[in-house]
Structure 1
């Protein structure tokens, strides 16, 4: 079971989306309201949804025709870095000016007990499916970073899974590690969606295939796939470090790192269409535009 939001007139409608792509509008206004309702009823979110749609007739609207919005207005989006070997290799390449056999402090980050965690975005900087992601004006080497994203409650519980695009400036990050905030955070530099897969319906988050496709002028110029099984750290480990002596707001999203990096000579251009697909969640599509 997945949860989506779509735009209908001036309203955003929360809905349940079955694996057969049947759409059932829900009475709650947003995802966290649904979660809190389930808490009050003493049941799981899945049970609450099943109660609401039991005996209901699905919408006559085709899922593919819906104007999807971000499934949640995440008050904060955090991200984990260098959680995959491929990410470590890419960071080393950036930090050494293009050496393929280089070792840097990113090796230490990859092997350390403490993971790298950083603030990525806020609700005002985050876009949903179909939205535009911005290309930073002072960077000449920018890429999407497709990531499995965790939707958390205020206690650090994983209540769902979605897709995140951690837009990144490889040249700025490679120039100096202290420039990480500028390499990661700017207007519309993050997207999430298109749905939240309820945690109760995720059989194994370490057996998901992530695929990233990039199209330019209608032609596919990048396509790469990888598995979340390559993740070096456990998801609960990342959440535990994020929650330590911290405040977690209901609906916080944590991006878990990327295992896909486009070819080193590639950079996004205005008009590029980015598609990120994760097994059982859906496909997050965005278009790159100039900032």
Structure 2
């Protein structure tokens, strides 16, 4: 499997290229300044770049580069909510306004909300966060759509839309506080080109949470259970918003633990989407554990991975 990858080479230069698991090599795209630059281009041009990358000189093996989150510049991350039946039921369990979620599930207009600016996104091997003022927190494994400035879906990825159920459940108007905070958004390192995924609906989303090395939760759902078509979600997002650097849209989750489960510091969250990619993160608590994100804005090649993952 191969995918678009943002990385820092041995000299610390941040680049975008093509990673290939079969070859275990990374090949750079020539004259591409970053993911925002890539997502500003039409789909046909991006296809040409991916096709021509096989002729580029590799910068090394995947282990030789520092893998970075696949977003930068002005690219924004958004998310959709209540797009699976399980999500609708879960929102009703946590809230005293269950009818609100029932209505949006059946409505023509989806729930869409802002999730993160590019610099606050973490990727595989970096820590995700839970708020210090939240009592009930969950990972939300989701298919991510990478859309270019023209509203075309150019790739798929893995997203963890980490959320506070207790804050959103207290009042639906607290949604931004439940969703938007340091460590609340993780994206898998690889972006799978859309034209290389033959049957998206055949895929499955799987998630497990390890606590002290033992399973604390696991679940899976078919992508075919997504109520709204990816193209329709992107079309709605682009209706009234210009995205000159493209956008990432997480499509909602169909895996939600019961109300008796909450993430704890030190948990390890593993997410996999068939044919798309994987994501693994350790949980930290509170903003201070993610202060390194601020320092990494100027020098992304020096991102610190935070708490090491267990073997």
Normalising by structure 2, we get a TM-score of 0.83
Q: Give the SS at the match of 1:277.
A: strand
Mapped contact 1:22–1:59 kept (Cα < 8 A): no
Q: Residue 13 and residue 257 in structure 1: after superposition, are their counterparts in 2 closer, same or farther (change >3 A)?
A: same
How many Å apart are 1:104 and its aligned residue?
2.2
Match of 2:14 in 1: 12
Q: Distance in 2 between matches of 1:111 and 1:270?
A: 36
Match of 1:114 in 2: 109
How many Å apart are 1:57 and its aligned residue?
6.0
Alignment of 1:108-257 (within 5 A): 108-257=103-252
Q: Give the SS at the match of 1:286.
A: strand
How many Å apart are 1:139 and its aligned residue?
0.4
Q: Residue 285 and residue 65 in structure 1: after superposition, are their counterparts in 2 closer, same or farther (change >3 A)?
A: farther
Q: Residue 208 and residue 44 in structure 1: after superposition, are their counterparts in 2 closer, same or farther (change >3 A)?
A: farther
How many Å apart are 1:12 and its aligned residue?
2.8
1:55-88 per-position Cα deviation (integer Å, ceiling 9, x unaligned): x565652x46754211222621111000000000
Q: Residue 15 and residue 238 in structure 1: after superposition, are their counterparts in 2 closer, same or farther (change >3 A)?
A: same
How many Å apart are 1:47 and its aligned residue?
2.8
Match of 1:93 in 2: 93
Q: Distance in 2 between matches of 1:125 and 1:239?
A: 22
Q: Give the SS at the match of 1:194.
A: coil
Q: Distance in 2 between matches of 1:66 and 1:223?
A: 31
Name the structure where strand makes up a greater proportion of residues: 1
Q: Give the SS at the match of 1:150.
A: strand
Mapped contact 1:151–1:252 kept (Cα < 8 A): yes
Q: Which runs of 5+ in 2 are unaligned?
A: 287-311
1:33 matched to 2:29? The reply is: no
Q: Distance in 2 between matches of 1:34 and 1:123?
A: 14
Residue range with higher mean Cα deviation, 106-115 or 121-130: 121-130
Match of 1:99 in 2: none
Match of 2:82 in 1: 82
Q: Which runs of 5+ in 1 are unaligned?
A: 97-101
How many matched pairs?
Answer: 281
Pairwise CA RMSD: 2.2
Mapped contact 2:36–2:75 kept (Cα < 8 A): no
Q: Distance in 2 between matches of 1:124 and 1:175?
A: 29
1:99-148 per-position Cα deviation (integer Å, ceiling 9, x unaligned): xxx95221111111111011111113211221111110110100010100
How many Å apart are 1:24 and its aligned residue?
3.1
Q: Distance in 2 between matches of 1:35 and 1:154?
A: 6
Mapped contact 1:15–1:23 kept (Cα < 8 A): no
Normalising by structure 1, we get a TM-score of 0.89
